[in-house]
Structure 1
């Protein structure tokens, strides 16, 4: 199973909040632990629930979500925050990023883009405790920087999508099919299969065959450490 993600929604439109909750909880490992309709409610729930991820609107009845984000950062609250809003002006985007938002979605957006946001959050989460020292590869992962290997990738393999697929495969405790993994990261079965086959070719995944009653083997994939020998 993917890493569980506890999400707080800060959105004053009840209908939008309901839709976003439904989209998020398509992933069985995502749990919306609270929903707030104002800055004051959002601040109180963020402190009480300590969610992993906060999805924050900009225009709220008692203030700006950008101001709330700045307030959290000044208070030392380092929770991953993504803006989901109709505010599409460059000033709002730049201010959100300056205050430490790690992603910014402009309404309306697709379910696949929201799934990508959650996948990026999972990829940024620390492997060990927050007190450990980080090497450059860990820093790059935290910063969302993709290694500059795009030139060497086969045609049709996007480096950002490849990282999402690889991260989901690393988090899976058991072998998975292309269909199952595609559902987790918001990709079609065929697209997920293409990326999984690439990971097999470069030695980052192993292909297993599972034979059922039909006699036709199912293709299952699992993460393979680069230092595995068997």
Structure 2
């Protein structure tokens, strides 16, 4: 599997909902639902056996609360990304989930776009972890890991933090420097919108701008990601 692949465990007792969620997730060819559980007990067993990248967890389960299962996992040192997908919309449930390390919380019913955003955030978080030095982090690296992508307190108008991370991930995954048009195709943005995000990444030293010569007309702008150490993530062959 490539580094875009996401192995997902669903913990959802409603078989119809689980099937719909699986279908939505697997529209992305790099997302693989590796297991589905209908109870806390099954979810715990499958999480230990399958070691998924991401667990999508309901709150109301036949043999207990998904919040209790999340607490159990964290108490026992399980660090997989867990997101709640549930009809539980009360403030207490949300606070408990976040306090025990849920990185996202979707209230049913939700849109396919919001689920795709959840997956994009998971990929961005995982890329930051894998790219980070194993022992120590500087503040900029930690801020990106925590999703604090703004510089000087806020992002420029029109720059969405989740889309920014998706663009950064596209650069990280590219085997060579790529154009704004190529980034737009990978992320689902227009060339102009992708260019705006890429220029912001260059400005904040998360990407590097280069010019591709040898073609007719003006040289093309191409971009490559920069690792936390300040070096290019990928070098062109």
Same fold (TM over 0.5): yes
Question: Is 2:185 the partner of 1:180?
Answer: yes
| Cα drift, residue 122 of structure 1 | 1.7
SS of equivalent residue, structure 1 residue 127: helix
Contact in 2 for aligned 1:150/1:159 (Cα 8 Å): no
| Cα drift, residue 91 of structure 1 | 0.5
Q: Deviations over 1:32-80 (max 9, x none)?
A: 1111111111000000001111000001111110010011111111111
| Cα drift, residue 98 of structure 1 | 0.9
Which 10-residue stretch deviates more, 9-18 or 131-140? 131-140
Contact in 1 for aligned 2:132/2:141 (Cα 8 Å): no
Match of 1:45 in 2: 46
Match of 1:168 in 2: 170
Contact in 1 for aligned 2:120/2:162 (Cα 8 Å): no
Superposition map of 1:89-100 within 5 A: 89-100=90-101
Residues in 2 aligned to 1:32 and 1:112: alpha-carbon distance in whole angstroms: 18
Q: Which stretches in structure 2 are left out of the alignment for 5+ residues?
A: none
Size of the alignment, in residue pairs? 222
Question: Is 2:142 the partner of 1:139?
Answer: yes
Question: Is 2:16 the partner of 1:11?
Answer: no
Contact in 1 for aligned 2:57/2:83 (Cα 8 Å): yes
Q: Which stretches in structure 1 are left out of the alignment for 5+ residues?
A: 210-214
Question: Is 2:193 the partner of 1:156?
Answer: no
TM-score normalised according to structure 1 size: 0.80
Q: Deviations over 1:100-135 (max 9, x none)?
A: 111101111122211111121122221258953222
| Cα drift, residue 136 of structure 1 | 1.9
Which 10-residue stretch deviates more, 198-207 or 68-77? 198-207
Match of 1:195 in 2: 197
Superposition map of 1:22-61 within 5 A: 22-61=23-62
